[in-house]
Amino acid sequence: MHAAQGGWLPVRAALHPTGLYIASREIAPDELQDAFMQETVARVAAPERIAQVARAGVGIAAGAAPAGLVFHVARCGSTLVTQMLKQHGNLVVYAEPLPFNELLLPPHAWPRRELVAAIRSLGAAFALHAGRPFVLKFTSWNTLFCDLVAEAFPSSPWILCIRDPVEVGVSLVDRPPGWLGLVDAGRQAASPEEKVAHVLGTFCESAARLDAGRGRLVRYESLPGSVWDIVAPHFSLTVDAAGRQRMAEIARIQSKSPLGKRAEFVADAAAKQSVASASLRRAIDALARPKLALLEKIHAGASR
């Protein structure tokens, strides 16, 4: 591990007519061991400051580009991916940072060109905080706007974590996330199963707009080995034997366990398949699986 470093961690962001405002707290990069960045922010007491980037200067002073971007379709193993990447000895991982949510939340306050520039400036603030290679993992609904993120960081490779839509769908129907209405606006009359299937299809449709040459699909069933076999090389990260061992050990723990209360991982794919309703399977087959198949076809062609 690195020795603790100083630095101001961006914790909030807002776009105003005059520019981009970023609130930061003095939290060292090595504190970011919680499953999600906001859990660290809540856990670590720290002074806060607010800085402004004038609108005319947004996007001009770009910092180091992220070593990788992590998109996902929710409940698909992406937290495991980032918790494993945190075991790398020379990497900072920001898991679902709130400031990017605040810039990407529609309706967008600025036109596309300026919004992309603001995302780039926010990335520069994270680069300054990291002081070494870093990875950004986005919230699942951010995948709707993954093209904006990819445009802001044109040299950064990306991955999309995916899982059998039936298994994801079971989880989303059972525990609907707060962002479900954001993605599924205009389909209030649909059943919960149709809403979830539509959301998953929309995620795949959005990811299909990206340059497949820059991306990799990371399947749930390929974890944990795909982190050192696919993700790390794609992000130009070298994983030695000791690093691989640390990653393998963390993979045996429930990735969303609170610090100090870690529970053993229990596989649940078979259980989810067994409880999936016929209505969910029909909705997935109609609204999600065709778009996932198209996305997989695009990536299969790009890998030849």
Ordered mean pLDDT values, 10 residues apiece, the chain (304 residues): 61 97 97 96 96 94 90 97 96 98 96 97 96 97 97 97 98 93 67 94 97 97 97 97 96 88 88 97 97 97 74
Q: Are the C-beta atoms of 146 and 204 separated by less than 8 Å?
A: no
Q: Are the C-beta atoms of 71 and 146 separated by less than 8 Å?
A: yes
What is the C-alpha to C-alpha distance for residues 107 and 115, in angstroms, rounded to an integer?
Answer: 12
What is the C-alpha to C-alpha distance for residues 253 and 131, in angstroms, rounded to an integer?
Answer: 28
* Neighbour tally for 37: CB within 10 Å: 25
CA 31 remoteness from chain centre: 19
**pLDDT for the residue numbered 184:** 62
**pLDDT for the residue numbered 189:** 58
C-alpha distances in angstroms, 248 versus 14, 95, 220, 235? 38, 19, 15, 19
**pLDDT for the residue numbered 68:** 98
Domains of the chain, start order? 59-302 (3.40.50.300)
**pLDDT for the residue numbered 5:** 41
What is the C-alpha to C-alpha distance for residues 155 and 127, in angstroms, rounded to an integer?
Answer: 14
At 39 the three-state DSSP class reads: helix
